[in-house]
Structure 1
Amino acid sequence: MVVPHGELGAVGRDADAVINEAKAAGVYVFAGGIDEDAPPVLVSADGAIATGGFPLTPTLDGGFTALELPSRDEAIAWAARIAQACRGDQELRVFRLDPQS
């Protein structure tokens, strides 16, 4: 995300406003970002731990917003609102719930 010079405060306010709209609409689940102070570790099935994530995985940075929406079209509409507020493209993914969760 590249924020134009001098717009970081406005981006924060606009992003907060969209999140508040999602909460008011009853579609908000959670939002947050990667904690850069806690480096990733790779944990094997035998419990062995290695510093760092998967070698071929790009660095994950930025925030995540999870919304519960009835359709992909509505998800795209919300992603567009978030993209506008953040002044940058948003990657939309569908989370498939485990039926036993």
Structure 2
Amino acid sequence: MALYLISFEKGAMDHIPEGDLPEVGKAGHAVCQEAKDAGVLVYSGGLMYDTDDERYAADPAVVETDGTVTDGPYPESKELIGGVFIVDVPTRGEALEWASKVAVACRCAQDVRKFMYDPDAV
């Protein structure tokens, strides 16, 4: 088995009309449940940015090697992650199948990357 990160950029779902968001949320939750039932879901969730609601405020920050904290994303970042879906599956093909399900549910393209295996980290 191998861990795969399936993710999409912040703003990737901005094209979806507000009235369609409940349907998209329901479809996304259905894919999560399907992955849970299949025993492959490790974690799934969206990331919050720039919100006025303090319960959800989580603006990006960079913590340097000396401990200095700077608000905002890392300067070299080209994009911010909007959501993640991590699966533990035997093959890249299966990861791509799950990414396809997420893409259809969330109505946006997905990036698929395999985590490096580190036996000391698990």
Matches within 5 A, 1:24-43: 24-36=37-49, 37-43=57-63
Provide the TM-score with structure 1 as the length reference: 0.88
Residue of structure 2 equivalent to 1:7? 20
Root-mean-square deviation (Å): 1.6
Q: Which amino acid aligns with 1:10?
A: E
Structure 2 runs not aligned, ≥5 long: 1-12, 50-56
Structure 1 runs not aligned, ≥5 long: none
Q: Which runs of 4+ in 1 moved over 3 A?
A: none
- Is structure 2 residue 57 aligned with structure 1 residue 44? no
- 1:41/1:49 contact within 8 Å kept: yes
Residue of structure 2 equivalent to 1:75? 95
Distance 1:4 1:39 in 2: 24
* Same amino acid, percent of matched pairs: 42
Distance 2:112 2:81 in 1: 15
Q: Offset of 1:59 from its aligned partner?
A: 3.7
Provide the TM-score with structure 2 as the length reference: 0.74
- 1:34/1:60 contact within 8 Å kept: no
Question: Between Structure 1 and Structure 2, which shows a larger proportion of strand residues?
Answer: 2
